[in-house]
Amino acid sequence: MPSRGRFRPGRRGVTAAVVAAVLPGSLLLGAAGAGAAPAVPVVTGPITGGNGVPVILSTSFDLAQFGYVREEFVMRGDATAYAPTAPLTEDGRWQVTPTSTAPYVTRLVVVRPIDRADFNGTVFVEWLNVTAGADSAVSWTQSHLELLREGAAWVGVSAQAVGVQGAQSVAPGAAPGGLRGSDPARYGTLTHPGDSYSYDIFTQAARAVRGEGGVAPLGDLRPKRLVATGESQSATRLVTYINAVQPLAEAYDGFLVHSRFGSAAALSQSPLPDVPAPLPARLRTDLDAPVLVFQTEGDVGPLGSAAARQPDTKRIRTWEVAGTAHADVYTTLGFTDVGDGSAERALLDYTNLSRGPLNCTTPINAGPQYAVLMAGVSHLDRWVRGGAAPPKGAPLQVTEGPGRVTGGRTVPSYVVARDPDGVALGGIRTPFVDAPRAALTGETNEGGSFCGLFGTTRAFDAATLARRYPTREAFLEQFRRSAKQAVRAGFLLPEEAERMVAASNRVPYGG
């Protein structure tokens, strides 16, 4: 499979290797919405101090060897909350109006090309995930190789109160005080008025990235397109943002909704009035901005996002990926993946199955979510530029299962249909499921904490392998053929397919 050759000189074969005093500034007021001036934040930085590095769960290799730099900025202003003017409906066509405002001080983490000539004009702005009690850059970690190859920039936004001020720690290693507690010298001046204001904070982040807040977080780079991204609980907030706020703010040019659930985040919550989203909550279909909804097996089945399924439109595409889980082995491998093939070898070596960072009861999912996501990111970028929409993907085959009680209401779940060896039927296909040596699922794992999100991997025994493949070479040929088909279909990029094929030749066959 020929390489696209998109790494600029010096970027292939790369090896792995900022809040002091916040400057005071005036708060520029104004609620986003009809008849009101857009609120523009004040940005200061790049900032240093404290322990010397941004606090964020993200990639940890030397970005300079890719021609990139990571910096951190403080963003401050007054944020607006919203209230519905009519009941929130399942079709997502919500009507809201600005209500109260409150001051905030938060941070932005910026990853950008050092050389302006290397910048492709696209900025992916990620709503950082706070489920574990700390800011986590999940979508960046899963798709960073594609962004680095293409010369895109990335900005992580601490949009929610937990990320800034913390809550009771819910994951091992997460500081209970959020950014303020993890590095008081660096982040002690940050403050957040509550998640009802998070949507406008995310809008103001877009204005900051476009250089409207004084200091330009991208330096001398001039962004042409902003794509909003968010994974899991952040995806639920993006759904609410798309349905309620984007029609007013028009701040983003496209959206990547990564691993959503069947409902969406509350529009407003305590101490303001509680305004929960309906279940299901589908995306409104009258937006101009393209939306790619990217779903794993675990999202569609056990986590119940199938309840919010909707047909593809001119502006909405949904991908459901067979053999993947909400979280997986690459969730941690991605921190150090520089594209040298070691991640693929680890994923395909079923003689050394991982129980994950939480030591779950059984081996966790070793599927290719990251690789298909990178293809989705590539298509979405082209789509936002005015190019063709991403290819349509077949849905996973599911049947309705027992509901589960969450947050005081019953949430549906679904059962993914499987072949006799446990491989999912339907969905977007890759060599991991069409030339399998293991059953990769998004089903609930055991072991407490977040193990339920990590899916499972069950390696085939010798008898199953012999029934599927007469010889090891027969398996390798089927794996190569499936990889080529996935590239032709647009669901894998050549770089990831090449590394998968190379790894399949190098790992123990198994059985």
Q: How far apart are CA 145 and CA 499, in angstroms?
A: 13
> Please, which residues have CB within 8 angstroms of residue 24's CB and are 6 or more apart in sequence?
none
Token pair 């059962």 in the structure block, residue: 415
Are 118 and 69 contacting, i.e. CB atoms less than 8 angstroms apart?
Answer: no
Cβ atoms within 10 Å of 84's Cβ, excluding its own: 16
Structure tokens at 308: 């919010």
Point out the residues of the chain with pLDDT beneath 50. 1-35
**Helices marked H in 188-335:** 198-209, 233-240, 246-249, 297-300, 330-333
Please give the model's pTM, rounded to 2 decimal places: 0.92
Structure tokens at 207: 């204005």
CB burial of 53-73 (b: ≥16 within 10 Å; e: otherwise) equals ebbbbbbebebeebbbebbbb
Q: What per-residue confidence (pLDDT) applies to 30?
A: 34
The 8-class DSSP code of residue 274 comes to: P
Q: How far apart are CA 155 and CA 70, in angstroms?
A: 10
Structure tokens at 111: 């990853």
Which amino acid appears at position 254 of this protein?
G
Are 96 and 84 contacting, i.e. CB atoms less than 8 angstroms apart?
Answer: yes
Give the residue among 125, 315, 157 at the shortest CA–CA distance from 228.
125
Length of the chain: 511
Q: What per-residue confidence (pLDDT) applies to 38?
A: 74
For β-strands 254-258 and 291-296, DSSP reports them as parallel
Residue 163: exposure state from Cβ atoms within 10 A (0-12, 13-18, ≥19): buried
Q: How many CA atoms lie within 13 A of 428 on its CB side?
A: 31
Token pair 């850059």 in the structure block, residue: 137
Q: What per-residue confidence (pLDDT) applies to 25?
A: 28
Q: How many CA atoms lie within 13 A of 390 on its CB side?
A: 35
Q: How far apart are CA 163 and CA 168, in angstroms?
A: 12
Q: What per-residue confidence (pLDDT) applies to 174?
A: 59
Q: What per-residue confidence (pLDDT) applies to 359?
A: 95
Q: What per-residue confidence (pLDDT) applies to 175?
A: 60
Are 348 and 507 contacting, i.e. CB atoms less than 8 angstroms apart?
Answer: yes
